[in-house]
Amino acid sequence: MRGGGHLLLSADAVGGVWQYSTDLIRALQPHGYQVTLAVMGPALSEAQRAEAAAIANCHLVETGLELEWLAAEAAPIVQAEARLAEMAGDLRVDAVQLHTPALVSAGRYPCPVIALLHSCVATWWEAVRGGPMPEDFNWRAALVAAGLRQATRVIAPSMAFAEAARRRYGVLPMAVHNGRSFPVKPQAMQDHVFTAGRLWDEGKNIRVLDEAAARIAVPFRAAGPLEGPQGAGIGLHSLVSLGPLDSMALARHLASRPVFASAALYEPFGLAVLEAALAGCALLLSDIPTFRELWDGAAIFVHPRDAQGFAWAIEELLGDGATRVEMGQRAQTRAGAYTPAATAAHMAGHYRAVQRKVAA
């Protein structure tokens, strides 16, 4: 695949996987790759279809196949793997990149498979709840475990998450940091606090930020859905909910460089943090291994369950403009290392490596 090739790349339209996939495909264009983007799960929005259509090296296929984390049992995921393997053969692609190892559990593909471990229920459970997993998590984890062993190569978005996967599954993925291009037109800095993500996800630990919001004197705004696709949800008392925002609306909110806070208990990478850093926001983050890996020296860290600690740190930053500006500059500088171009360069190297391995 030296000089490019044809990839089949699976994705879903819910959450950060879509953003990761479209950013990566754009950045792969200079490397000579054509990409068939096979989208699974809920239907795309018209805006997402338009976004994919505008990417010159992308051919979009909406498969209607079920997502592993939304399916009621393993059978539809095994069937989805069979369909994707058939597509790979029909298209004669050079390699397949899957957004979850669960889609290579049977090893049916006619070409090398790179499995991305963006997240998984077993490592989520370990970080958020602990103890024995429920039965509907067990079959999902079993598919991921099988896929980790069948894939030609496995990639995780951070070394910290790769280590969490090793502890759970006995397989150590290679780490390739995610990247994001997120232009923001800076405005005058304003005193408010911001967070973003899947607010309904218990792993985002929004309740701690809601408690912190009750203890500070400035607005604390939260962007993202309050209800998940399987009925999970959260009610807010002090955070100001903005609902889901598209990229342009998010950029407008970040332009005034609010203090950005995340109390996440579980975060394989954290695209929302990266977007805030690119905007020059000072970062106030939970002290978890992923955030330490990515942002140590460029953020302030608080224990993830310490609502009062978050409130104190917010007040200190808001009361010290010079430190707030300095921390925003540090975050922005660090964010410059996490670009789609860098991600694409690393991934192109992996595509070439797995193809050489098959040819040898």
Q: Which domain holds residue 287?
A: 193-335
- Cα-Cα-Cα-Cα torsion 50, 68, 289, 295, nearest 10 degrees, comes to 0
* Residue 49 or 360, more confident: 49
Same domain for 279 and 146, yes or no, is no
**Alpha-carbon distance 75 to 53, whole Å?**
32
337-359 pLDDT, tens per residue? Answer: 999 999 999 999 999 999 887 76
Q: What is the mean pLDDT of residues 188-204?
A: 96
Same domain for 275 and 287, yes or no, is yes
CA dihedral (177, 178, 182, 186) positive or negative = negative
Same domain for 48 and 172, yes or no, is yes
Same domain for 145 and 206, yes or no, is no
Same domain for 349 and 317, yes or no, is no
228-246 pLDDT, tens per residue? Answer: 877 788 999 999 999 999 9
| Any domain includes 155 | yes
Q: What is the pTM of this model?
A: 0.95
Q: What is the CATH number of the domain that holds 256?
A: 3.40.50.2000
Check residue 356 and give its pLDDT. Answer: 84
Same domain for 69 and 174, yes or no, is yes
List beta partners, residue 223. 196, 243
- Give the E-state strand segments of 66-176 in sequence order: 95-98, 113-116, 153-156, 174-175
Q: Supply the DSSP symbol for 103.
A: G
Neighbour count for residue 49 (Cβ, 10 Å): 15
Question: Is a pLDDT exceeding 50 seen at residue 1?
Answer: no
Question: Is a pLDDT exceeding 70 seen at residue 103?
Answer: yes
5-39 pLDDT, tens per residue? Answer: 999 999 998 778 999 999 999 999 999 999 999 99
| Any domain includes 330 | yes
- Give the E-state strand segments of 63-116 in sequence order: 95-98, 113-116
**Alpha-carbon distance 225 to 228, whole Å?**
7
Same domain for 52 and 173, yes or no, is yes
| Any domain includes 188 | no
Instruction: Give the CA radius of gyration of the chain.
Output: 20
Same domain for 344 and 330, yes or no, is no
Question: Is a pLDDT exceeding 60 seen at residue 138?
Answer: yes
| Any domain includes 186 | no
